[in-house]
Structure formats: C-alpha cells, structure tokens
Amino acid sequence: MKQFFITILGVFAGLFLFLIVMPFLLIASVAGSAGAPAPTPSQSVLVVDLRLPVTDQPPASPFGSLSGGIAVTDIVQKLEAAENDRHVRGVFVRAPEMGLAPAHAEEIRQALIDFEASGKFVIAHAQGFFAPTITNYIAVSAATELWLQGSSDFAATGLSAETLFLGGLFERFGVSPQFEQFYEFKNAANVYTQTDYTEAHRTAETSLLTGIYNAALAAAALDRNMPVEALKAALDRAPMSAPDAIAAKLADKTGMPEEALDAALARAGGVDSATALDIADYAPPAGSGDVIAVVAGEGPILGGPDSTDPFASDTQMNGDAIAASIREATDDDSVKAIVLRVSSPGGSPPASEQIWAAVERAQSLDKPVVVSMGAYAASGGYYVAAGADRIIALPSTITGSIGVLGGKLAVDAGLNRYTGANLSTVTVGGPFASAYDAGEAFTNSQREAFRASMQRTYDDFTGKVAEGRKLELARVQEIARGRVWTGAQARPLGLVDGIGGLREAIRVAKELGGIDAEAAVQIAWYPAQEDPLQAIADLFGTGTTLARAAAVMGLVAGDDRLVTLLRLASRPEQVQALEPVRVR
C-alpha cells in the first residue's frame, strides 16, 4: 500500500512538473525571444521567392501570414527600406514558373529596378518559364543577372485568355440564365448566357491583352537593352532551350539555383560570410517623421459584419472594416494623408458606396486621399477609387468595368427533367416577392422592375465617376458601358491620374499632405492586424496570459492552431502590426 501511494505521488509530481513548471519555462523562453526583432546580419542577401502564391497585400488575419504566400506591397516596402540599409548588399529572386498577375509583375519589376539604382545587385534564377505568359518573365527581366537552369525551357512568349462558355450546356439541361447587363461590355455573365465571345466581349478582351502585351514588350526590351522588334522576334521563337534563350539575349547564364545563390553570396562578401535572409524575416529599421496611412483593401467588396477568420489567408474588402479604417486614419491628427490600396474585382454596391462616403468624409476634413491600384480595380473596385484626390495605376492594372450586372439561374425545368424534383413557391406580398426564386424565370413585371433597379445602380455608378473624376456624365457613359481598360489605356480617358505602384502613390500622398519630397515618413497600415495572443484569447474566451500558456500547451498537445500562435509569438517580426517602415 505504501508503495502504491509513493507511485501515485510520483505520478502527480510528474504531472505537476509537466503541466505547470514546463509551460512556465517555455513561456519565459518565448517571452525572452519575443522582444525586438533580430538585427539584420551584415552582408545580407534578401531572398524573394516568387514561386510562392503572390497576393497584393498581406492577409488581414493575425495568422494568415503563415500560409506561405508573399505580398507585393511587402516586397515593395522592404526593398525600398533595404536600399539604404548598409547590411543588405543584394537580392536573390526565384522567378515565377507559372502565373503572375500582369500588374504584380510590373510592380515587382519596378521595385527591383529601384533597388538596383541604389547601387546594389539583383540576381534572379528561373528553373523554367514553362507557361507561355510573358508576365512571369518581366517580373525578373531587369535583374543584374538572370540565370536559367540548363535543361529548362523558355516559353514566355505572349498572352492568351481562354473562357469556358456554359450557354449551350445550360440550354441542354433546361437551365435558363436570367441576367441584365449594363451594358454590352459588362461581359461576366456571358459565360452563362453565350456559347462564344460576343463581338463586344472579343473586342474588349483583345484590347486588354494587347495593351498588357505591348507594355510587357516595352519593359522587357528596356531591361534587356534591345529594340522592341528584336525582342519580339526572339520571344516569337519560344519555346526554346536555355542556351538558345541566352544566345537570344533573353537571359545571361545557366546554372542550378544553388549556384546562382552562391554567386549572389559571393557578390555580397563571400559564400561563407554572407547571409541569405528570407524577405519575410527582414525587419526594416523603424520609421520616423510624419505619418502616411495606407488602408489595405484586397478581394471582393462585401457588405455585412466583418467576420475575418483569424487563421484565413484569403482576403476581402468588407465595407464596415474599410470605411472604419479610413475614418480612423482621418481622425488621427498625426496622419497627413491617406493611401487607399485597392486590388478588387468589385462586389456589393452598398458596401462600395459606404467606402466612397468614408473617402468623401476624409476629404471634407482636409485629409487628402490617394488611391493606389494593384492587380485590378474593376467595377466596385473602381467605384471606391473614383472620388479620391488622385488615382495611381500600374500600366496593366485592370481598370474600370464601369457597369452593372445581375440576375439568376432558373433551374426548375432542368431539375425536374433529370431528377424528378420540383421547386414550388408560395408567395405573399407584392409581385416582386418571388423574383429571386430559382424555380421560375422572371415574369415580365419582375424583369422590368429588376432592370429598373439595375439602371438606378448604373446611373449612381456613372454619376459618382463623373463627380469624382470631374468629367461630363455623357463622357463617362460613353467610355463606361462595362468595359475594362489597362491602367495605361485608362489614363488618357481621364479615369486615372498617374502610372506607378504603391511607392508612387505614397510620393503623391506626401505632396498632397504638405510633406517635403525628401523627408522620411512613417507608413501606418490600416486596419491594424490583431495581436496574435489577443486573437487566441478572443477565440478561447480567455486572457492573453492564459492564451500564451494555452499556446505552449498546444505545442505539447499537438494542437496545430496553438502551435501556430507559439511560432508567431516567438517571431514578432512576422506579425503585420510592425513598427512603421521608414521610406522616402
């Protein structure tokens, strides 16, 4: 019996040590490592891997940054800071192999050019440009050295858009698409209603691709120091081997990724003494001076409450959250100007109007607003931008689509034919009460009422654009009709004011905010990302101290979400709520 109690006591002592003492030791260890970010090693080479999923902005969620992607705005700001960081000697880029949004490729290219202009080097390595899209190539065509893996193919030659039309399929299965489009170029619904491109759809698509292609050709020709015609002739021969691509002056050297990285380290001071530092781990020096607020908006524009999953890596522009961020930045006396970064295909008209109103309020309180367009600012994405003091777009930013569409798919006939099921409706109230039911097509009165509603939305949209861009309404209606343009095409139409990326937008914001062009500024990002410990505390309904303990226990117990917290707590430089970045 005595031995039994001794054994039980030993078990409890072990549990006490395991569950109480060890977590506190781990907590102390985490707390000790969670102070100031580690200093940048001298003779560093920043590593930018564009093979990762590329987004416009970092995820808004506190843990989304651990999804493994990379954000264009992060690359731009960190490379700008690194230009004047004596510890950073150069950049090593792993080139994208498949798809990259044209405007993202342009902004990354410009960031690398600006970095090289500071007297530092960029070495890029491609294991192959397998996709025939030219945009992957221009992201790195300006590198000091561009390496290709010896056995890889160079296929970057042009652009192609393939659209799956479902009109014939729906007709075969008895599904009736019911859509209203304002107007002929607002072609997103064509995939449901048509069996091929309409003339307007094909015209718009061809014009868009041509504009992107010509901009890419001009950029790559400048980077490779070749006439545009000679570059085009070389690209037209693709796909070609790596040696043939080098002979055509499309690249500089062949070799493995490790050899290219060693070449970068050798330039930085020596393979054994220089350090390869992932750009995600690079913590730029803290900023000083006046504040420029950057309000981040990426993804579809949605109404309703902001319900961001703390572990989600996808993004959205919630009307409440974006409007609140603009209002918060407006009311902060330290903020001299606001940059609204928009990369959105559009979405909810009421949420778009809510963001427009927040911009208008900022201007009424003498806080200038500059819009920086990312990969696209279309439909509602352009609506929220139209009222800004200045709009800055990249050459290939998909811009405009000033139009409206909406409708439904009436499925009952096909549902009954192939499954025997029926949708049946009981309605009380006015004749429009059942308009959105999926069982039947619109009645004549419903279609008329629905079209009138869409017309009001279109009139509001074009009116807002005319007001914001100071254009005649008739002119807006002439160039609108749902058509998309590149940023370069949109400028002479009066839809944008200047060509450039986030860095150019911040420069313009400094000018409008009365800040000297050469003065350093702090960049404050809105909405501020929630502290990871607070996110866990909210998730589990506890305090942050207990949340940290829960994270440590999660490490012991194997809870992936809590392990994520512990990783973030020990690497504060990866949290989006960073010290302001110093830029000029």
Cα end-to-end distance, the chain, whole Å:
77
Cβ neighbour number for residue 560 with a 10 Å cutoff: 8
Q: Which domains does the chain have, with CATH numbers?
A: 44-157+238-281 (3.90.226.10), 164-209+404-479 (3.40.1750.10), 290-402+482-526 (3.90.226.10)
395, 215 in Cβ contact below 8 A?
yes
Residue 301: the pLDDT is 96
- In terms of C-beta distances under 8 Å and separation of at least 24 residues, what long-range contacts does 14-19 make, across chains too? 18/556, 19/553
pLDDT tops 80 at residue 71: yes
Buried b (16+ CB within 10 A) or exposed e, 230-267: ebbebbeebbbebebbbebebbbbbbeeeebbbbbbeb
Cis before 431 (ω within 30): no
Rounded to whole angstroms, how far apart are CA atoms 191 and 394?
A: 28
Strand partners, 347: 301
The predicted-structure confidence for 450-503, as pLDDT tens digits, reads as follows 999 999 999 999 999 999 999 999 999 999 999 999 999 999 999 999 999 999
At 326, is the secondary structure helix, strand, or coil?
Answer: helix
Task: Respond yes or no on whether the N-terminal peptide bond of residue 183 is cis (omega within 30° of 0).
Answer: yes
pLDDT at 232 over 90: yes
**Range name among 6-10, 38-42, 325-329, 366-370 with the lowest pLDDT average:** 6-10
Taking residues 549-568, report their average pLDDT: 50
Q: Would strands 521-526 and 581-583 be described as parallel, antiparallel, or unpaired?
A: antiparallel
The stretch 228-257 carries a mean pLDDT of 97
Residue range 176-196: mean pLDDT, rounded: 93
- What is the pLDDT, as a whole number, of residue 99? 78
pLDDT (0 to 100) of residue 33: 44
Question: What is the spatial distance between Cα 22 and Cα 556, in angstroms, rounded to a whole number?
Answer: 10
Please answer whether residues 520 and 288 qualify as being in contact, where contact means their C-beta atoms are separated by less than 8 angstroms.
yes
The answer on pLDDT for 27 being more than 50 is no
- What is the predicted pLDDT for the residue at 584? 41
Tens digit of each residue's pLDDT (9 = 90 or more) over 7-25: 555 555 444 444 444 444 4
In order of 45, 82, 86, 265, the CA distances from 120 in angstroms are 10, 10, 10, 13
pLDDT number for residue 327: 98
**Three-state DSSP class for 499?**
strand
Tell me, what's the pLDDT at 560?
54
Q: Inform me whether the pLDDT recorded for 98 exceeds 70.
A: yes
- Evaluate if residue 528 carries a pLDDT over 90: no
Q: What is the pTM of this model?
A: 0.86
CA-based R_g, the chain, Å: 27
What is the average per-residue pLDDT within 432-442?
A: 93
DSSP strands (E only) in 279-421 = 290-298, 301-302, 317-318, 335-344, 369-378, 390-393, 398-400, 404-410
pLDDT for res 7: 54
How far apart (Å, rounded) are the C-alpha atoms in residues 1 and 24? Answer: 34
Q: Which residues sit opposite 526 in a β-bridge? A: 295
Q: Buried b vs exposed e over 323-353: b needs ≥16 C-beta within 10 Å?
A: bbbbbbbbeeeebbbbbbbbbbbbbbbebbb
What are the structure tokens assigned to 152, written together?
């890889």
* Nearest residue to 567 (alpha-carbon basis) of 542, 548, 546, 540: 548
| Contact between residue 89 and residue 46 where contact means Cβ atoms under 8 Å apart | no
pLDDT digits (tens, 9 = 90+) for 374-404: 999 999 999 999 999 999 999 999 999 999 9
Residues 6 or more apart from 221 whose CB is under 8 A from it? Answer: 227, 228, 230, 231
**Contact 566/551 with Cβ under 8 angstroms?**
yes
CA 437 to chain centre: 35
pLDDT class of 264 with cuts at 50, 70, 90: very high
On average, the pLDDT of the chain sits at 87
Let me know how many helices (H) and strands (E) the chain has, helices first. 22, 23
Residue 47 and residue 278 in contact, taking contact as beta carbons nearer than 8 Å: yes
More confident residue, 570 or 224: 224
Reported confidence tier of residue 63, pLDDT bands at 50, 70, 90: low
Tell me if residue 287 falls in helix, strand or coil: coil
> How many other β-carbons are positioned within 10 Å of the β-carbon of residue 289?
17
DSSP 46-89: EEEETTS-EESS--SSTTGGGGS-EEHHHHHHHHHHHHT-TTEE
pLDDT for 156: 94
Encoding tokens for residue 574?
Answer: 């990866």
Label residue 32 by pLDDT band (50, 70, 90): very low
**Residue-wise DSSP of 26-38:** HHHHHHHHSSSPP
- Tallying the residues shown for the chain, one arrives at 584
DSSP letters for 109-134: HHHHHHHHHTT-EEEEEES-B-SSBT
* DSSP class per residue in 336-347: EEEEEEEEE--B
Beta strand 521-526 with 290-298 is parallel
* 104-132 average pLDDT score: 96
For residues 142-146, average pLDDT: 98
Q: How far apart are CA 332 and CA 367, in angstroms?
A: 10
Instruction: Tell me the mean pLDDT in the region 289-307.
Output: 92
Amino acid 40 reads: T
pLDDT of residue 28: 40
